[in-house]
Structure 1
Amino acid sequence: MTKKLVNNFKKGMSLASLTNIIYTTFYKNEKEANEMYSRIVLLVKGEVKNGGRNSPRAIDALKALASLAPDGAKGRNFRRYYVDRPDGWQKLPRDPKNIPYGFWY
C-alpha cells in the first residue's frame, strides 16, 4: 500500500487527499462510528432482552459495538465498562454524545 500511495502522490495527488487516505486507513472515523453506534446500540439492547446477555446474537452485537470504539485507552475503557461487564449493556446511552469522556471519541 505504501508504494501505491507514493506513486499516486508523485503523479499529482494532492497532499490533502494523501492525508485523508492515511487518516481513514490508520484511524477510525468518529462521525461514522457515532452513526453506527446509534444503530447498533438498539440492536444490542433488543438482542440482550430477547435472548439473554450470553446468547450468540447478543455477544456478536456487543462485539460489533466494541469494534467501533477508538483504539487505545478510550477503547479499553469502553469495552471494560460497557461490553465486558454483565450489566454494562444496560448503561449504554442511545446517543454516543452521552458517553463519558475517556470512553469514546
Structure 2
Amino acid sequence: MNVAKIVSELRAGAPFFTLFKMMKGVFDDKYEAEKLYKELIPVLQDFLMQGRRFNDPQVQHLVNILRELPQYGAQRRNFEKLYLQDEYGLRKLPKDPNDIPYGHWH
C-alpha cells in the first residue's frame, strides 16, 4: 500500500473506494499503524482548519480509518472513547502516536 499516494488522493477528494482500500488491511502491526497515523493526522487537521465539521463525510472517513488503527480490544475502545466521539476529541489527537496515553494504542 503506497500511503503517500493514497493520502494525496484523499486530499484531492478521492472517491470512497480509495478510503475503503486504506481500511481494508489489518493494522495490528504497530509500525504500520503509526506510519499511517502520522500520514492521516495532518490531513485531518487540515480538514478541521478548513472549518469542516465532525459530521462531514470526508472527516468521517478519516475517523473510520483512525478507529481501526489501535490494537483490537480495550485499547481500540479506549482510543475511540477519548478521541473519536466529537470534533473536540479529534482536535486533541497528538501528532505523534507515541504521545497517545497508555491503554489507548499499541
Give the alignment's TM-score, normalised by structure 2: 0.69
TM-superposition CA deviations, 1:6-33 (whole Å, max 9, x none)? xxxxxxxxxxxxxxxxxxx987100000
In the TM superposition, residue 69 of structure 1 has moved relative to its aligned partner by 1.4
- Please give the alpha-carbon distance, in whole angstroms, between the structure 2 residues aligned to 1:35 and 1:94: 11
Give the alignment's TM-score, normalised by structure 1: 0.70
**Where does residue 81 of structure 2 map in the other structure?**
80
**Does the 8 A contact of 1:48 with 1:55 survive in 2?**
no
**Where does residue 32 of structure 2 map in the other structure?**
32
**Does the 8 A contact of 2:34 with 2:97 survive in 1?**
yes
| Cα gap change, 1:84 to 1:97, in 2 (>3 Å) | same
Taking only the aligned residue pairs, the percentage that are identical comes to 30
Deviates more, 1:52-61 or 1:25-34: 25-34
- Please give the alpha-carbon distance, in whole angstroms, between the structure 2 residues aligned to 1:67 and 1:96: 14
| Cα gap change, 1:91 to 1:58, in 2 (>3 Å) | same
- Is 2:93 the counterpart of 1:92? yes
Matching residue's letter, 1:44: L
**Where does residue 70 of structure 2 map in the other structure?**
69
Mark the runs of 5 or more structure 2 residues left unpaired by the alignment. 1-24
- Please give the alpha-carbon distance, in whole angstroms, between the structure 2 residues aligned to 1:82 and 1:44: 12
| Cα gap change, 1:29 to 1:86, in 2 (>3 Å) | same
| Cα gap change, 1:98 to 1:52, in 2 (>3 Å) | same
**Where does residue 101 of structure 1 map in the other structure?**
102
What secondary structure sits across from 1:65 in the alignment? Answer: helix
State the structure with more CA Rg: 1
Higher relative contact order structure (alpha carbons within 8 Å, sequence separation ≥ 6): 2
- Please give the alpha-carbon distance, in whole angstroms, between the structure 1 residues aligned to 2:37 and 2:47: 15
RMSD: 1.8
Matching residue's letter, 2:67: A
- Please give the alpha-carbon distance, in whole angstroms, between the structure 2 residues aligned to 1:71 and 1:57: 24
